[in-house]
Amino acid sequence: MENVSMNKSRYIPTRDPIFTETMQIGIVVRNLDASLRRYVDDYGIGPWEIHEFTPRDANNLQEYGQSVERSWRLAFTMVGRVMWELIEPLDEESVYARFLAEKGEGVHHIAVATPNFDDTVAEQAKRGNSLVLSGEFSGIKVAYLPTDRDLGMIIEIANGTPVAEENVN
């Protein structure tokens, strides 16, 4: 690439980063089993761990600040240092089902590490933004930030990563 011009960016952060590491890619699918076959057979991605979430699996599950009861199936695997999560909604109302209806299968969210979960959530509230999804799963607080208008995607943050820690070799 001889003719590539390298200019130093004038966009230099004036604050510490809110997001420090990419942890997970969340992909919504119509049929989890068919998707898993495609990922394994066509791309060699796996092995996968499969779970089904029901309303009893989450404490204080909310979408846009409203309490909800939702169900979905998911599977996850590590690809390098990033977890890939496939999500099949089992209802017609969840954020995942609405995404599937509006956009089809694809990347729904990117999960990232943040130095301070509570401060990051509070900053969204200060901006007048309701969390897309929030709740507590296995003692870990999770929040989907409404960053899709600003960044082109939903960002997920959590105050821990037990699944990722258990599966890293």
Residue 15 placed within a domain: no
Q: Which residue has the higher pLDDT, 169 or 130?
A: 130
Residue 5 placed within a domain: no
- Which structural domain range is residue 42 located in? 21-167
DSSP string, 39-99: HHHHH-----EEEEE-GGGEEEEEETTEE----EEEEEEEETTEEEEEEEESSSSSHHHHH
pLDDT at residue 168 above 70?
Answer: no
Which residues neighbour 119 within 8 Å (Cβ) at sequence distance 6 or greater? Answer: none
Residue 33 placed within a domain: yes
pLDDT band at residue 13 under the 50/70/90 scheme? confident
The domain spanning residue 104 has which CATH number?
A: 3.10.180.10
Distance, in Å, from the CA atom of 72 to the CA atom of 91, rounded to the nearest integer, reads 7
Helix (H) or strand (E) holding 34: helix 32-43
Position 4 scores a pLDDT of 67
Residue 26 placed within a domain: yes
User: Which of 56, 54, 36 shows the shortest CA–CA distance to 46?
Assistant: 36
Looking at the structure of the chain, the number of domains it has is 1
- Token pair of 149 as six digits: 């208008």
How far is residue 2 CA from its own chain's centroid? 38
Note the pTM of the prediction, 2 decimals. Answer: 0.86
Distance, in Å, from the CA atom of 133 to the CA atom of 146, rounded to the nearest integer, reads 9
Residue 8 placed within a domain: no
Residue 12 placed within a domain: no
Residue 81 placed within a domain: yes
Residue 4 placed within a domain: no
